[in-house]
Every structure is written in structure tokens, then in C-alpha cells.
Chain A
Amino acid sequence: MATIAVPLGGQAEGHQADAVQRPALSEYLRWSVDHKIIGVQYGVASFLFFIIGGAMAMLIRLELWTPELDVMVSGAAYNSLFTMHGTVMIFLFIIPMWAAFGNFVVPLQLGAKDMAFPWLNAFAFWLIPPAAIVVLLGYFVTPAEAGWTSYPPLSTLFSGDGQTLWALGAHLLGISSIMGSINFIVTIFNMRPPQMTLWRMPLLCWAVLATSIIAVMATPFLAGALTLLLLDRVAGTTFFDAAGGGDVLLWQNIFWFYSHPAVYIMVLPGMGVLSEVLSVHSRKPVFGYRMVGLSSMGIAFVGFTVWAHHMFTSLQPELRIPFMITTMIIAVPTGIKMFSWLGTIWGGKIRFTSAMLFALGFMSMFVIGGITGVMLAALPFDIHVHDTYFVVSHFHFVLFGGSVFAIYAALYHWFPKITGRMMNERLGRIHFAFTYFGFLFTFFPMHIVGMLGMPRRVAVYDEAFANWNQLISFSAFVLGFSTFIVIYNIIRSYYRGPVAGANPWRALTLEWATTSPPPVTNFADDPIPFEDPYGYGTEASVAYLNAVEAAFDGRENRTILD
């Protein structure tokens, strides 16, 4: 094997054989401008909201165990419950959870010492707890009952003060999201090392860039809509009241102009995670790297042209076909990613780690969510299953089968970097099995009951759907149980997991070319990235990885056959 000189830059200096202490837990409870601390703060807070939103989901499924109303005191109470479930999961769990991984990983992948605006970064995070308190407080006042979409007149004439608090909280969360996204865009454009051109940037960074562009351009529309909603609720205006010259469809247009792109805010980072995990754990370069990066941008762009498919049943007939077409077009860049992932793992040396299992789980589930998305884009079918459980199934396949599986993949992949410890792989596989099958049997049967006509957002339903709902509820409880496994694994691994070392997965991106956890300034000096972030299987990459291991962990060199 040829001798290859690997200029690691300053990555190794000062860190060799020195274990970096993990921050004290109290550090995470304080104001900090360190992107790694903020990343963990986002992650832990979001996971807590996941547990809260998940508990609400369990209550929903308990209520639906029988066709009668037996857990909730009224249909209105059930409405409030699913309203809060959706709100918590979308605004307080998935979106901030991606900010967690983005914050921790992106500056490291770029070889930066921190984000472009550290203070703004901390401020964006610390807006979330008060926003969450305001939103959750609303549930205990006179709760919002209009669903997470908050359509007027349900959200203006038929919801209590909780709806006002909901809108205030969502406003704060939107501001937080915009500030965080500005930070990501500036960091990605300005903080890369000179050797890292855009076309040598890790695909997670591409995905976060596309996500952030969506967030900064779409979230202000939500801010506009929420301002009008608040004015209608507290200042007596009539923007959404036809009796006062207003228009209820106005809300739907503005809300979905944000909220459909928001689906990609929730999914695109997961797609970036997938490109990272699949490549590393199958030891193969990403297939069609440039097309994957461009497809993220394509999704971001086309995502702004599809919002009215959420309004097919209320839309002017002449606008239905154009929106049907744009909705179907968005399957193209998504399909490019799917082909890329298949091409990436094809013929690879696949290691079925927990991260890899969840990434593969994402692929299988997201394909189903994508196909049902194309089905729903077809106008006649959409009208047939409008407001049924088919729609509930579709968006859970996208947002749980997509986002949550990717979040778990990211957790297992980067936990060693964040904490310096490996997660327990056996528990990880058990967690995957419970999650995969729990999820599949919860949400796949919803397609069937939906097509049979079971409406969504009801606590009382036809006796004919009882057996299906018992299967769904039982599976949902299995899915709920799976969360305890990962919580146990996280806590156990944090204290007793094997020491990870700098680069346990032998990955080529820069976050693995520093200690685990990284020091305060991430790198001792300006790091020099490897020429190709996914260039596995070459002598150069093996030499680079050996140099990293020798520098940080003192291990002996391996060959390309390892």
C-alpha cells in the first residue's frame, strides 16, 4: 500500500490522547452560546415534548379503543386533545429536534468553531420554553379545539382563550425558527473552510441549508396569519368572518403557504441524515451526490407551489388541476433521493447498526408515505378520502415514518460524538423492532379504515371499525412502549456505555476528526476536510481515517480491506 501523507491541519494538535471532559449537566440548564450545548438543549427539550405529545397520542388511542366516548368527557375534550397532540409534535418536537442536530453537527461538519451568531442561537433556543409554556397553559385554560391547523371559524368563534395562547406561542416558535434558520444559512455560506466548496459539503449541510431557506421564506407567512388570527380574537377585526366582509379561506391560503413547506422543514433534515448514515454504515460513496444536494433545493422550491392541495375540496375548480400537477412534480426530487439511497447501499459492506436499521426503516416507511402522497395528489382520490383516516395514515408515514425514524437514526449515529459514549446496540435493535412493527401496525391499517370511510377527528365512530381500531390502538401502545427502551438506552449509555473514541464509525466528515465530545472550540486550529466527504473505499480515505484514529485514539493503522 502506498504511503499517503494526510494533512490533518490542527485537528489533532493538543487533543492527542487527551480525553475531553463532558460538560456538567448543570451547563445544559444555563444560558450558553456554545452550539454544542445549545444543540443538546434543543434535543432534550424536544424529546421531553415528544414524550408529552406521545402521551397524548396514547390517550387518543385509548379513547378510540371502543366506538363510544369512554375516556374523554366530551367530543370537545377529544378535539382539544388531538389539537395539542399535533401542535406539540410539530412545533415543539420535530422542528426543534432538527435544530438540535443541526446545531450540534453542522458547525462541526463545516470545521467551524461555532455558529455565525452564537448569541442569537442561544436566544432562539430560549424562546422555546416560554412558547411551550404558553401553548401548554392554553390546554388548562379553555383549550384550543381547532386542530393544529386552526381553521377559522373553529379557531375564532368556537375556541376559548387557549386558542389565543396557542397563537401567541406559535408566534414565538416561528420567530425562534426564523432566527435559527438565518444562523444556519450564514454559517453554511460563510463558515466553511476554504477547501470545502459547496460541492464538497456534507449532505446534511445541504439539507439544513434547504430547510433553512424554506423556514426563512415561509415562516413569515405563518406570522402574518397568526397576527390576523390574534386580531380577530382579541381586537374585534373580521378578517376571517364572512359576516364582516372577511374570508375563512384566507386563513387556509396563508396558513398552508407556510405549513406545506413546513412538512419539508420536518423531513429534509431527515433526508440529509439518511445520506450520512447510509453512506457511512455501508462504506460506500453517496450515489449521485450533486443530484441529492440539488434535489433538496428542488424540494424547497417546488414546496412553495403546492399548498392549495390541502384545500382541494374548497378550492376554485379551475385551480385544482395546476395544484395537482405541482404536487405530483414534487415526487420527482424526492424520488431522486430514494434512488440515491438505494444506489448508495447497493453492493455496500452494510453494517446493520441501530442507526442503519432506522435509516432503512425510514426508506421503507417514507416510500409508503410518498406513494400515498401521490395518491392524495390525484384529485378524485383526494376528494374520496378527504378528512378520513387515510390522510392521518399518510402524514404519519411521512412525519413519523420519515422524520422520527431519521431522528432515531441521527441519535444512534451521533450519540457517541455528543456524549463520548457508544449506545447499546442490542437495546438499539430491540428498540428498532418495537418501533418498526409498532409503527407499521398502527398506521398501515389506517389506510384501510380511511378508505372504508372512517372520518378523522372523531371520538365516536361506527361499530364496523371497532376491530381495526383495537388493532391500531394495541400497536400504538407497543409503539409507545418502544420509547421507554430508547430512554433507558440513552441514560444507561450516557453513564455506562463504552468509550466511543473520536471516530467510532470511521466516517470521513469533519465532525469525526475531533475528540468525542469535542472541545469548546471544536478544533485546535483550522481543520482541513478530506477531499470527498463520502469517498469511502479508496486508499486515500483509509489513510485519512487511520491518521485520524492515530491522532486521537492512538490506534494502529488499518488497511482498505477492513
Chain B
Amino acid sequence: MMTSYVDRQEKPKIGLDRDAALRLKNNRLGMTIFQASWIMVFFAIIVVNWQLRFSYVQWPPAGVAPFDLLLPSIATLALLLSALLARRGWAGLRRGRLGEFLASWRLAIFLGVGFMAIIVYEFATVSEAALATQYGITLRLMTGFHFVHALAILAVMLHVYRGAGAGAYRGGEHDAWAIEGAAKLWYFVAVAWILFYVVLYWIR
């Protein structure tokens, strides 16, 4: 008699049919793996910064003024607040509160734009002396590389926000994946920036 076969069916999650539950599970795991994978590019660039700074006797190199901390710190705070608001909005929509979502994301996007404006300013105002060394070049590399990601993901957030405003999402776990995904991508932007911020502005 065969007893080792186990004939059981996967129980669907409450409120979701089996295929939809699997799709959501796949999306969530896929997003986590993507985040773990793509953060490695940022680590690679940190390795670049690290190795290049050891080419110099001191860091920042002699004759180059250290980058000012004030504006990047304000930008970092704005980005963190933006990420928290994105989360608040997503949680609100899961509870069916569209108004809370829209208000939170409006502010999150606004703060995101503010963050990017400061980063553009930082990129554009690197001194000639810094740009003559890897100190300035790596700042441009890191801020520029991060900016491209922030811009793309902010565009996704804007798209989702407009969709929600037009009634594309009813709330609940299933059809809020676009919002969950966009929010998680925005967290990614925040985490990647914190890594860069610490390496660029704090570790000398």
C-alpha cells in the first residue's frame, strides 16, 4: 500500500482565488529578489569609491574641500519621509481608504521631487578642484547613477498615483500590487541612497 503520496491541494488564501494568490506570492518574492540583486550594483559602485579613495594619500585629496553636509542631509530626510508616506498610503489603500492613499502619495511624490532637485544641484555644483580628482568624479557617478533610478521609479509612482485617482484600484491585497510594487521600489531608492549618502558624505 502506498502511503507516501500526499494528495493535498493548496488552500487558497482568504479573499483571493488560488491563481491570484499565487501571482501575488510570485510578485512579492520576485520583487524581493530583484531588490537584493540590484542593490549589488550599488555595492559595486561603493567598492569603486572605496578602492579609488585608497589611490590617494588622503580623502578628500589634498587641496579639495569636503562636500557640505547640509543639503544632502535635508535631501536624505526628505527621501526617508517620502518613503514613509508611500508606505502609509499603501497601507491606507489596503484598508480601502483611497483619500488617505492619494494624500500620502501626493506628498511622497512632492518630497521625492524635492530630493531629486537637491541631488541635481549637488551634481551640478561639484567644484573644479574636486572634479580633477576621483573625489568629485565618484560623487557625480554615484549621484547620477542614483538619480536615474529615482527618476524612473518616481515616474512609476506617478503613473500608479494617477491610476488610483482614476479609480483603477479598488483596494485590498489583490489589485493593490501595482501600488505595493511601486512603494517597494521607492524603498529601494531610499535604501540605495542611504548607502551612498553614508559613503559619500560621512566616511572620510
Asked if A and B bind, the verdict is yes
Interface residues of chain A, those whose CB is within 8 Å of chain B, are 4-7, 9, 116-117, 178, 181-183, 185-186, 189-191, 194-195, 216-221, 223-225, 227-228, 231, 237-239, 242, 244-247, 249-250, 253-254, 257, 526, 528, 531, 540
- Distance of A246 Cα from B51 Cα, bound (Å): 9
* Given known A526-B9, A531-B5, contact A238–B137 (CB-CB < 8 A): yes
Between-chain CB contacts (< 8 Å), 21 pairs = A4-B1, A7-B5, A116-B26, A117-B30, A182-B30, A182-B37, A195-B5, A216-B36, A217-B36, A217-B37, A218-B40, A221-B41, A223-B44, A237-B137, A239-B48, A245-B61, A247-B52, A247-B55, A249-B51, A254-B44, A531-B4
Whether A247 pairs with B51 at a CB distance below 8 angstroms is yes
Chain B residue nearest in CB terms to A183: B30
User: B73 contacts the other chain (Cβ, under 8 Å)?
Assistant: no
Further 12 A-B residue pairs, CB within 8 A, beyond A217-B36, A220-B38: A181-B37, A189-B29, A220-B39, A220-B41, A221-B43, A224-B40, A225-B44, A228-B141, A239-B48, A250-B52, A526-B9, A531-B5
- Distance of A254 Cα from B46 Cα, bound (Å): 11
B143 partner residues in chain A, CB cutoff 8 A: none
* Chain B interface category by residue count: 35 or more
- Distance of A257 Cα from B137 Cα, bound (Å): 23
Whether B26 pairs with A220 at a CB distance below 8 angstroms is no
- Shortest A299–chain B CB gap in Å is 19
| 5 A-B pairs closest in CB distance | A224-B44, A220-B40, A216-B37, A220-B41, A531-B4
* Given known A217-B37, A220-B40, A237-B137, contact A253–B30 (CB-CB < 8 A): no
A227 partner residues in chain B, CB cutoff 8 A: 41, 145
Whether A186 pairs with B41 at a CB distance below 8 angstroms is no
A257 partner residues in chain B, CB cutoff 8 A: 44
Whether A186 pairs with B2 at a CB distance below 8 angstroms is no
- Distance of A253 Cα from B141 Cα, bound (Å): 18
- Shortest A436–chain B CB gap in Å is 38
- Distance of A189 Cα from B22 Cα, bound (Å): 11
Whether A194 pairs with B134 at a CB distance below 8 angstroms is no
- Shortest A259–chain B CB gap in Å is 13
Whether B48 pairs with A4 at a CB distance below 8 angstroms is no
* Given known A5-B2, A221-B44, A528-B5, contact A190–B25 (CB-CB < 8 A): yes
- Shortest A249–chain B CB gap in Å is 8
User: B56 contacts the other chain (Cβ, under 8 Å)?
Assistant: yes
* Given known A220-B40, A238-B137, contact A182–B47 (CB-CB < 8 A): no
B56 partner residues in chain A, CB cutoff 8 A: 245
Whether B30 pairs with A528 at a CB distance below 8 angstroms is no
Interface residues of chain B, those whose CB is within 8 Å of chain A, are 1-2, 4-10, 22, 25-26, 29-30, 33-34, 36-41, 43-45, 47-48, 51-52, 55-56, 61, 133-134, 137, 141, 145
Whether A217 pairs with B40 at a CB distance below 8 angstroms is yes
B45 partner residues in chain A, CB cutoff 8 A: 224
Whether B9 pairs with A194 at a CB distance below 8 angstroms is yes
Whether B141 pairs with A231 at a CB distance below 8 angstroms is yes
- Shortest B6–chain A CB gap in Å is 5
Whether A246 pairs with B36 at a CB distance below 8 angstroms is no
- Distance of A189 Cα from B52 Cα, bound (Å): 40
B25 partner residues in chain A, CB cutoff 8 A: 190
